[in-house]
Amino acid sequence: MYELSNVTKNYQKGRRTIAALRGVSLVIGDGEWLAVQGRTGHGKSTLLQVLGTLDRPSTGTVSFAGRDLAQLREAHVTRLRAESIGFIFQAFNLVPTLSAAENVESALIPLGARPAQRRRRVTAALESVGLADRARHLPSELSGGQQQRVAIARALVKEPRVLLADEPTGNLDEDTRDEITALLEKLWRDLGLTLVLVTHDSAVARRAQRVAIMHKGRLSIRHDTRRAAQ
């Protein structure tokens, strides 16, 4: 699905240059679940942003489904993001004024689906995360775990090929963390998604096929259950 070679990302902060990624080379297979661990400030989110086409690398190439992203224009990249890439965030990032159903629907807006079809897909997505009965609730009327479920439904409603999750359980208590992890695992299995999950939590990372560690902008693979299984 992804092929990164020698990807670097520098941030300019005033006169200082911060090297967030210092030459990351990585292949992520179709339908793979990759967990990324590492301490705060070592480039995990930056890597996810590059994978999610939210940012372009400073040097190096990223190819997605065989296409070099550097060759695509911004409008094309936006389209690709709308169709193929789902995000989940640590702080859920739901639009506070929109109901659960409307938040999920917002992911279908750039796709230009008809309202009736949108509603059907939203209902199905909320059902798949077990929140069909909370469709009309505002985010403020939902628990953290429920909000993250809505966010997962929003990420998946467009049936993306890739799900990028940045510490999705970071704001949740342990029980809820396990619930969400189990839900993500089930969806990953059922939908054949490629899942890249950034987490601090080794208990979560252990469920993934591969675990990578980000350290000072460099990535190394720690654990590979696929190889172990072979």
Partner 1 sequence: MFFFTYLRRELRRRMRQAVVTALGLAVGIGLVITVTALSSGARTAQGKVLGALFGVGTDITVTTATAPAPGGMAQITPEPYVQHSDTLSSPTQGTMSASAVAAIARLRDVSAAAGGLLLTEIKTTIPADNAPPPTGFQPPVQVSVTGVDPGHGALGPLAAARLASGRAFTASQPDAHVAVADAAYAAAHGLRAGSAVTIAGARFTVTGIVRQAAGSNAPQLYIPLARAQALSGLDGKVNTVYVQAASAADVAAVTGEISRLLPSATVTNSASLANSVTGSLKTTAQLASSLGTWLAVLALLASVAVASLLTVAAVGRRVREFGTLKALGWRSGRITAQVMGETLAMGIAGAAAGVALGLGGAAAAAAVAPKLTATVQTSNTGQGGFGGGLSAGGGIFHGTVGGPVQAFANPNATHTVAVPFTAPVTVGAIVVAVTLAIAAALIAGAAGGWRISQLRPAQALARVA
Closer to Mg ion by Cβ: residue 200 or 207 = 200
Q: Which H or E run includes 32?
A: none
Residue labelled with tokens 């985010």: 139
Interface mask (CB under 6 A) for ligand ADP, residues 2-21, using x and -?
A: ---------x-x----x-x-
Q: From the list Mg ion, ligand ADP, partner 1, none, pick the one residue 64 interacts with, judged by a Cβ distance below 5 to 8 Å according to partner type.
A: none
Q: Answer positive or negative: Cα dihedral of 165, 171, 177, 179.
A: negative
Long-range contacts of 43-50 (CB under 8 A, 24+ apart): 43/9, 43/214, 43/216, 43/217, 44/166, 44/198, 44/214, 45/166, 45/198, 46/9, 46/20, 46/21, 47/21, 47/198, 47/214, 47/219, 48/164, 48/166, 48/196, 48/198, 50/4, 50/7, 50/9, 50/21
Residues 82, 124, 132, 191: which binds partner 1 (CB under 8 A)?
A: 82
Q: Which is nearer to ligand ADP, 14 or 96 (CB)?
A: 14
Listed ranges 30-38, 97-105, 180-188, 218-226: which one lies at the site for partner 1 (CB under 8 A): 97-105
In angstroms, the CA 133 to CA 178 distance is 22
Q: Minimal distance in Å, beta carbon 80 to partner 1?
A: 8
Contact set for ligand ADP, span 60-119 (CB under 6 A): none
Q: How far is the CB of 45 from ligand ADP (least distance, A)?
A: 3
Could you say which of 14, 15, 16, 40 contacts ligand ADP (CB under 6 A)? 40
**55 belongs to the binding site for partner 1 (CB under 8 A):** yes
DSSP H or E run through 120: helix 115-128
Q: Which is nearer to ligand ADP, 15 or 114 (CB)?
A: 15
Compute the radius of gyration of the chain from its Cα atoms.
18
CB 44 within 8 A of CB 215: no
Q: Of residues 10, 22, 65, 79, which one binds partner 1 by CB under 8 A?
A: 79
- Which secondary structure element, helix H or strand E, spans residue 79, and what is its range? helix 74-84
Q: Which of 114, 117, 151, 146 is nearest to 133 (CA)?
A: 146
Q: In the complex, what is the shortest distance from the CB of residue 143 to ligand ADP, in angstroms, rounded to a whole number?
A: 25
| Contact footprint for Mg ion (CB under 5 A) | 45
Q: Which residues bind ligand ADP (CB under 6 A)?
A: 11, 13, 18, 20, 38, 40-46, 214
Binding site for partner 1 (CB under 8 A): 45-46, 49, 52, 54-55, 75, 78-79, 81-83, 85, 87, 89-91, 93, 95-98, 102, 105-107, 109-111, 115, 154, 166-167
